[in-house]
Each structure stands twice: as structure tokens, then as C-alpha cells.
Amino acid sequence: MTEYQSADGPVTGYAPPRPSAVWISALRKVYGEGDAAVHALRGVDLDIPHGDYVAVMGASGSGKSTLMNIVGCLDVPSSGEYRLDGIAIADLDERQLSLVRNRKIGFVFQSFNLLARTTAFENVELPLVYGAVRGPQRRRRALAALHLVGLGDRVDHHPNQLSGGQQQRVAIARALVTAPSLVLADEPTGNLDTQSSSEVMSLFDRLNAAGRTIVLITHEEDIAAHAKRAVRLVDGLIVQDVRFAPVDGLPPRLATAGAGRPAAPSLALGPGA
């Protein structure tokens, strides 16, 4: 029997539900002031449970990156509420915020954002350096992350010695090395050809099948079709929220590919991996 403490005292035999990965209410973001003010988000409500795989779509300037930056704790809203894994982000000081960012969130950007004069291995290791993880464990985890994205044979290559798709997979390994519960990607396939895009998306599919919550921005319908759910923004408001697959099932592409076969390949990467 589980026991937990509620406001009314201990309760036995009932586990409280896990808070959502992302819970947002009446979120607004205004850039600038007066006549120059831009209302980038105008009252967004969004609830993303753990295990979800969400594509954020919308025209250029609709507020997608603004929303993603707030979800990733890189920027703060002008008003409204945001809870990450149950934590009210507005209550945190700078130090707590950077801890949450480092521990709970992995970022992938359109332009990869890798350090040029640094090997794939060193790029992936970097978040662990910031996280003060010690040498041998750091090395083990960085190598595990590179193996996970299929780049075990490219660890000593510099970014300019890698294809675009490989560079993005290094960036994904870097996002995963801290074992975050939430992976955020802003147009991760925007700079990739069709073949590399499909490799990167199949990696996201398998990460989600292994339990990771993924939110990605895309302009392309066939990229969004990998997700379990698509949210569409118009002028800073969510105008459409469609679910393609249940949160606790396989993402659509794996469900089709894996019909009649056992579970999807495991991609666990815990802190000790």
C-alpha cells in the first residue's frame, strides 16, 4: 500500500497523479512597449502529460518559438502561469531555474548550435561539465548518448567533418545526455535534407516510445505526422489541438511499422547509463 501526505493528513492506498510535464494557463507574452508592443502570445492554455509527443505548427510569426522559449525556461511570460513537472517556474530564483533547465530539459535547435572547434564527444559532454558530473561518469554517459544516436564511430569528429543529419544527431545526444524528462526541438529538421530528416524523426519516435516527452516545432505536415498530437498557433493563440495517437501508446509511425511485432526498440538513457 502506498501512503502519501495530503493537506488533510496521510492517505493510504492512493497515489496522487503525476503532474503534467507542461501545464500552461492564460499565458501572454508582449515584446516592447506602447505603439511598438508585439503581442506574441495572447492567452495560451496547454496541458502536456508525460509521454506525449507534440508538434507545434503555425505560420511564421505566430508565436511558436516564443512559446517554446518559455516552456524551456529560456524566457519568461508577461503574465499567466507555467508549471513544469508541477513546479511553478515563476517562483524560482536564477540558480534554481538553471538547475531545472539543466536537469529536466533538453534542447535541439534548427541550426544545431554545436561548438565548431570541439569534437562530437566534447560537445555532448558539455552539459555534464555544467552539471558538475565527474570525469569517468561524464565520459561514460557522453559515449552512451553518442551510441544511442548511432554515432559511436564519430566521437572524435568535429562538426565540419559531419553531415547535417549527423550534426543534428550530435545535438540530440547533447540534449539527452543529462537524461531530461522533456525534449524541446525548434524546427530540428529545418536545415536537413529528406533522408537526414527522416533519420532524425525516427530517432525522436524511438525516444518517445522509450518514455520521453517531446515537443517539436515544425512547418511540415509530414514531420508533424510523426507526433501523437498537433497544436496549431495563429497570431499567438492556439486555434487547433488534434490528437493522432494516445499518450501511453506508440507514436504513429512506430505503431504502423511495428504492427504484429513486439515493442519498439528500447532507448533508455538513465543517469547511470
Ligand X SMILES: Nc1ncnc2c1ncn2[C@@H]1O[C@H](COP(=O)(O)OP(=O)(O)OP(=O)(O)O)[C@@H](O)[C@H]1O
What are the DSSP calls for 6-75, one per residue? Answer: ETTEEEES-PPPPPPSEEEEEEEEEES-GGG-EEEEEEEEEEE-TT-EEEEEE-TTSSHHHHHHHHTTSS
Whether the CB-CB separation of 102 and 94 falls below 8 Å is answered with: no
Buried b (16+ CB within 10 A) or exposed e, 115-150: eeeebbbbbbbbbbeeeebeeeebeebbbbbbebbe
Question: CB of 61: closest distance to ligand X in angstroms?
Answer: 4
Nearer to ligand X, 58 or 180 (CB): 58
From Mg ion, ligand X, none, interface partner of 165 (C-beta below 5 to 8 A by class): none
Nearer to ligand X, 65 or 189 (CB): 65
From ligand X, Mg ion, none, interface partner of 144 (C-beta below 5 to 8 A by class): none
Site for Mg ion in 19-78 (CB under 5 A): 65
Nearer to Mg ion, 216 or 227 (CB): 216
From ligand X, Mg ion, none, interface partner of 62 (C-beta below 5 to 8 A by class): ligand X
Count of positions on this chain that bind Mg ion (CB under 5 A): 1
Nearer to Mg ion, 166 or 189 (CB): 189
Question: CB of 31: closest distance to ligand X in angstroms?
Answer: 3
Write the single-letter amino acid at 224. A
Residues 6 or more apart whose CB falls under 8 angstroms from that of 195 comprise: 165
Nearer to ligand X, 66 or 178 (CB): 66
> Among residues 26, 8, 24, which one has the least CA distance to residue 16?
8
From ligand X, Mg ion, none, interface partner of 77 (C-beta below 5 to 8 A by class): none
> Among residues 157, 163, 213, which one has the least CA distance to residue 184?
213
From Mg ion, ligand X, none, interface partner of 130 (C-beta below 5 to 8 A by class): none
Chain contacts with ligand X (rule: CB under 6 A)? 31-32, 38, 40, 58, 60-66
Nearer to Mg ion, 65 or 167 (CB): 65
Question: CB of 196: closest distance to ligand X in angstroms?
Answer: 20
As a whole number of angstroms, the distance between CA 118 and CA 103 comes to 23
Question: CB of 56: closest distance to Mg ion in angstroms?
Answer: 9
From ligand X, Mg ion, none, interface partner of 211 (C-beta below 5 to 8 A by class): none
Residues 6 or more apart whose CB falls under 8 angstroms from that of 131 comprise: 102, 103, 178
Which residues of this protein are in contact with Mg ion, per CB under 5 A? 65
